[in-house]
């Protein structure tokens, strides 16, 4: 805690930010040229007097947002950095991860570029984290003193509430103590960030951080969600689908969860299989070749779902046709292996036909899951190195880097 002398011979303790007292503000932007000048003005008015800061914009814009930041940075009393990405890998979440890697302060605050997150709260987020010795401080709309007033319309309120309920239901342990996992406004210690394990998809980066590398101590502060200063929300139906895919990927992160998901997806494969068998036999095809062809429909169905729901982050080391061929080979080998296994269980273990069939199904399922992980979706062995940015000091132009 700092001390300040106000009267000769008298020392008065202040309640300013405890040391360390610097923060990096990370702002992901996509076509926010109408907002960034106002955002920097608000940060200038609210943050530097109470807390030394730097601002890192990670920009995926197709408009003149980087140029607007460059001009506005000349009037700022703190460093402003722009990391412009030609390819928006990972969406807004991926942009935040790049900002986390570029941060130089002990504390990092993530906030949106549309002025819906009040910069005046930044010092309070850091102070709360210091007082609680926390690794993560979430600005929440859903605790006493908070409000979601800036959400436009009952539809967005319902979507936000539904997404919050769904995520907390899927991750009750990881999200314990976080009332607003959908918040895009939070402070995190740089030492608590494990950027290498993050696999962001879309715009809910707090959820990614909380599930994959959540700090041990988490606390919250209330905040009032503001109206957008200008422009329109980037939340679309496509982003909603990416969010659901992200949820599925996070839930399938553990081997047990992946195995359960693998089995559930396999069960859904019976639907296209049976429909295909019915259509082919109704067309006059013999049931044996019809069964073989219909099984391929189920295999294709399972492959598509597994690709997008279970192993999205493990697809880059093989081409899609290689993965598809290996998956189909394993799925069809399952049929070939099952019959000898049933015979073995009946004659050697003296099981009944139904018991032997059930045991063979479980055995081949476990073997197929293990073989699919090992032979089709090996973990990625390398990651792209973070890009390098440039800094615009007060009175200096800000460059763009890709």
Which of 15-24, 194-203, 230-239, 250-259 has the highest mean predicted lDDT (pLDDT)?
A: 250-259
Q: Which residues contact 338 (CB under 8 A, 6 or more apart)?
A: 360, 361, 364
The CATH classification of domain 3-252+384-392, taken from the options 3.90.550.10, 1.25.40.20, 3.50.50.60, 3.20.20.330: 3.90.550.10
DSSP states of 98-166: HHHHH--SSEEEE--SSS-S-GGGHHHHHHHHHHHT-SEEEEESSSTT-B-TTS-HHHHHHHHHHHHHH
The DSSP element (H or E) to which 12 belongs, if any, is: strand 10-13
- State how far the alpha carbon of 241 is from the alpha carbons of 88, 313, 366, in Å: 17, 16, 30
Mean pLDDT over 390-397 rounds to 39
How far apart, in whole angstroms, are the C-alpha atoms of residue 17 and residue 1?
7
- State how far the alpha carbon of 203 is from the alpha carbons of 22, 61, 171, 320, 360, in Å: 26, 15, 18, 26, 43
- State how far the alpha carbon of 390 is from the alpha carbons of 22, 44, 135, in Å: 19, 20, 28
**Does the pLDDT of residue 244 top 90, yes or no?**
no
By the 10 Å C-beta count (0-12 exposed, 13-18 middle, 19+ buried), 391 is classed as: middle
**Does the pLDDT of residue 289 top 50, yes or no?**
yes
How far apart, in whole angstroms, are the C-alpha atoms of residue 308 and residue 242?
10
CB of 214 closer than 8 Å to CB of 174 = yes
Q: What residue segments make up the domains of the chain, in order of their start? A: 3-252+384-392, 255-375
In this prediction the pTM is 0.61
- State how far the alpha carbon of 322 is from the alpha carbons of 318, 375, 382, in Å: 6, 11, 19
pLDDT given at position 215: 75
Residue-wise pLDDT for 165-175, tens only, equals 777 777 777 77
Q: Is the dihedral of CA 325, 330, 335, 340 positive or negative?
A: positive
**Does the pLDDT of residue 400 top 50, yes or no?**
no
How far apart, in whole angstroms, are the C-alpha atoms of residue 14 and residue 204?
36
pLDDT given at position 38: 92
pLDDT given at position 352: 80
pLDDT given at position 13: 38
Mean pLDDT over 110-125 rounds to 90
- Least confident window among 116-120, 176-180, 381-385: 381-385
Q: Is the peptide bond before 20 cis (omega within 30 degrees of 0)?
A: yes
Q: Which residues contact 157 (CB under 8 A, 6 or more apart)?
A: 148, 151
Token output for 76 = 């700022």
pLDDT given at position 376: 83
pLDDT given at position 181: 85
At residue 99's C-alpha, the angle toward residues 93 and 104, to 5°, is 150
How far apart, in whole angstroms, are the C-alpha atoms of residue 285 and residue 345?
33
Pairing label, strands 107-110, 23-29? parallel
Mean pLDDT over 109-136 rounds to 90
SS3 251: helix
Band (pLDDT 50/70/90 cuts) for residue 15 is very low
pLDDT given at position 351: 81
How far apart, in whole angstroms, are the C-alpha atoms of residue 259 and residue 6?
65
Mean pLDDT over 364-369 rounds to 81
Q: What is the DSSP letter of 234?
A: -
- Least confident window among 208-212, 230-234, 379-383: 379-383
- The more confidently predicted of residues 195 and 310 is 310
Mean pLDDT over 225-248 rounds to 64
Residue-wise pLDDT for 42-55, tens only, equals 999 988 888 889 99
Band (pLDDT 50/70/90 cuts) for residue 396 is very low
The DSSP element (H or E) to which 10 belongs, if any, is: strand 10-13
């Amino acid at each position: 805690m700092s001390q300040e002398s106000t009267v000769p011979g008298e020392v008065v303790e202040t309640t300013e930010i405890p040391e360390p007292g610097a923060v990096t503000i990370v702002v992901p932007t996509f076509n926010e040229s109408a907002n960034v000048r106002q955002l920097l003005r608000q940060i200038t008015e609210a943050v530097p007097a109470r807390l030394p800061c730097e601002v890192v914009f990670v920009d995926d814009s197709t408009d003149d947002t980087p140029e607007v930041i460059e001009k506005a940075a000349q009037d700022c009393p703190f460093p402003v950095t722009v990391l412009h990405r030609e390819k928006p890998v990972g969406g807004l979440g991926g942009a935040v991860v790049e900002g986390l890697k570029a941060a130089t302060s002990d504390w990092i605050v993530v906030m949106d570029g549309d002025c819906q997150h009040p910069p005046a709260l930044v010092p309070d987020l850091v102070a709360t984290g210091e007082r609680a010795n926390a690794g993560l401080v979430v600005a929440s709309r859903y605790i006493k003193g908070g409000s979601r007033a800036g959400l436009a319309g009952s539809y967005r309120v319902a979507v936000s509430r539904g997404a919050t309920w769904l995520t907390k239901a899927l991750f009750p342990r990881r999200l314990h103590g976080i009332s607003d996992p959908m918040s895009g406004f939070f402070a995190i210690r740089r030492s608590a960030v494990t950027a290498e394990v993050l696999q962001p998809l879309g715009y809910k980066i707090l959820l990614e951080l909380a599930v994959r590398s959540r700090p041990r101590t988490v606390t919250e502060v209330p905040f009032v969600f503001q109206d957008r200063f200008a422009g329109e929300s980037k939340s679309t139906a496509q982003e909603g689908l990416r969010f659901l895919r992200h949820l599925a990927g996070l839930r399938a992160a553990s081997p047990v969860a992946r195995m359960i998901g693998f089995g559930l997806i396999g069960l859904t494969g019976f639907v296209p299989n049976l429909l295909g068998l019915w259509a082919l036999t109704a067309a006059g095809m013999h049931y044996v070749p019809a069964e073989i062809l219909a099984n391929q429909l189920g295999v294709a169905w399972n492959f598509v779902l597994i690709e997008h729901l279970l192993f999205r982050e493990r697809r880059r080391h093989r081409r899609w046709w290689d993965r598809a061929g290996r998956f189909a080979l394993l799925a069809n080998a399952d049929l070939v292996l099952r019959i000898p296994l049933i015979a073995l269980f009946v004659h050697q273990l003296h099981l009944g036909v139904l018991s032997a069939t059930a045991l063979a199904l479980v055995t081949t399922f476990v073997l197929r899951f293990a073989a699919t992980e090992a032979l089709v979706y090996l973990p990625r062995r390398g990651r792209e190195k973070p890009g390098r940015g440039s800094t615009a000091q007060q009175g200096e132009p800000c460059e763009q880097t890709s």
